[in-house]
Structure 1
Amino acid sequence: MTLTARHTEQAALFRALHSRRPLVLPNVWDASSVALAQAAGASAVATTSAGIAWAHGVPDGQRLTREQMVRAVGGLVRATTLPVTADIESGYGAGSPADVAETVRAVILAGAVGINLEDSPGQGDQPLLSTEAQAERLQAARAAAQSLGADLFINARTDVFLAGFGPAESRLQEAVRRGNLYLRAGADGVFVPGVSDEASIAALARHIGGPVNIMVGSSSPEIQALGRLAVARVSLGPALALAALGTVRSALSELLQHGTYTALAQGYPYTEAEALFFRP
């Protein structure tokens, strides 16, 4: 199969968007969420593996099959005109370089112009893969993209902080070490979730020799502050999906416990929801 002109154009656009400080990437999981992100003015979107997993009725953490994730990514691509970067967790299958390459080729052909590939193995008791193993997987991802003639933005995720890997006092140094090794292995950027204090974020941006991606939540610095700290891109992980679930839970609790509907008044207007998908 060959790449479409749209894919080539969007890959170039997505790469160029990283010149912003920062590029803000809403994490979406279905056609409604990606349509809302586009209507709100997003320049590109990322998928949330957690949101997609929950929509399929399974827990997060590589419980999806490769086929389920690829179908979900393809559906998101078809539902938007924005560039889409896909969270492929640890690559699916057994997580071998060959498994990563197969997943990368599949999501590219589904329309994704970027990926996140994490160094958590997604199975077994090992908290993080060795840097050598992850470097080999990143090289396989790059080779898979090149085999299709695709410009793929590879975001190498390290879970040093998220997994509580090693002594707390050494995690910053370890994240920097891993990030720079991953860049040398062929990654374009480094994603370090689990960090929220400005001093650590600034150190990551200063010492990692490529674009740094931070995952934000309600306690994180504001977007403008992250830009001043030289963060290249910002994503929300599962936060938007959790916010949606929280809204549904509140409305259901009120309905079933009190028989009232005031929470529904905060809902999205029906006509506006219809307009998100109207194609004249």
Structure 2
Amino acid sequence: MHRTGAPLLLPNAWDHASAAALASHGFPAIGTTSLGVAAAAGLPDGCGATRDETLRLAARLGAGGFLLSVDVEGGFGDDPAGVAELARELAVAGAVGINIEDGRADGGLAPAELHAAKISAVKEAVPSLFVNARTDTHWLPGSGRGAETLRRLTAYQQAGCDGVFVPGLTDPARIAELVGMLEVPLNILYSPGGPTVPELAALGVRRVSLGSLLHRRALAAAVAAAVDVRSGRPVSGEAFTYAQVQALAGTGIERDMRMAGSSGMWHSSQRKHSC
């Protein structure tokens, strides 16, 4: 699905309803957003605190009828074997890809060699899993990030990744230059102030992610609607009907019932949630 001239546009969901709604509008592949998953759980993003939440969401979305890529931050640990085990669990849950980043909670970068070791371990454990290796060099201040970006992407390619991701890169000339240097698809994070998807396609980009954009816009829309109601103004914009949202729950209920049936743990609380 990573085609030159027709890049994969990957919207990022944060729960079952958002993923199901996107799938119902024709998106064949959906990623998760670590910010959205963390925020929904009241936890910080990028700190390795949401391993359990990420696995639970993957289990819920893995049989959703769309291709699932899971954002695993930095792999929730620095032990390559532990990251490989996480990859196995995600693959069992139904994920076909992961996005793994070298950015750290302190604002720095993990050693390129360590990140490459994680990639190698994942590919050895689950060869079929699409590993999108992300470097956060363009989100860091300072000069020389172009050379460091290429050094890291080269190391990640050699480690066996299937694609590379450079969020924060929006300069068309630099994007085109990187495309020409890479052997794997380049993933760019869509920016409202950056190139459009057709423009990125013309530059040779083969994957475009929306990251946390949809989650942040959803939060802004919810707050705006509440403020409008409080202020006596009409609520602008469209909303899903109750029936439309209720219909999105179908696949989630079926998934829960299959999982519960295999473990013999379909409790009364789960029956309540299915009604």
Find out whether 1:24 has 2:14 as its counterpart.
Answer: no
- Counterpart-to-counterpart distance in 2, 1:265 and 1:179: 41
Q: Deviations over 1:189-229 (max 9, x none)?
A: 10000112212221221222210000012112111111110
Structure 2 residue corresponding to 1:269, chosen from 219, 241, 265: 241
SS of the residue corresponding to residue 86 of structure 1 reads: strand
Counterpart of 1:58? Answer: 43
SS of the residue corresponding to residue 117 of structure 1 reads: strand
For residues 159-198 of structure 1, the aligned pairs below 5 Å read 159-164=136-141, 167-168=142-143, 170-198=144-172
Find out whether 1:95 has 2:78 as its counterpart.
Answer: yes
Report deviation, 1:273: 2.6
Unaligned runs of 5+ in 2: 255-275
Q: 1:265 to 1:116 in 2, by over 3 A?
A: closer
Structure 1 residue corresponding to 2:207, chosen from 233, 247, 251: 233
Q: Give the aligned residue type for 1:137.
A: K
Counterpart of 1:8? Answer: none
Counterpart of 1:137? Answer: 118
Report deviation, 1:63: 4.6
- Counterpart-to-counterpart distance in 2, 1:63 and 1:177: 25
Q: TM-score, normalised by structure 1?
A: 0.84
- Counterpart-to-counterpart distance in 1, 2:246 and 2:55: 26
Report deviation, 1:32: 1.2
- Counterpart-to-counterpart distance in 2, 1:104 and 1:206: 30
Q: Give the aligned residue type for 2:88.
A: R
CA contact (8 A) 1:29 1:76 kept: no
Q: Give the aligned residue type for 2:241.
A: P
- Counterpart-to-counterpart distance in 2, 1:266 and 1:76: 25
The alignment's C-alpha RMSD in Å is 1.9
CA contact (8 A) 2:43 2:50 kept: no
Structure 2 residue corresponding to 1:223, chosen from 168, 174, 197: 197
Find out whether 1:47 has 2:58 as its counterpart.
Answer: no
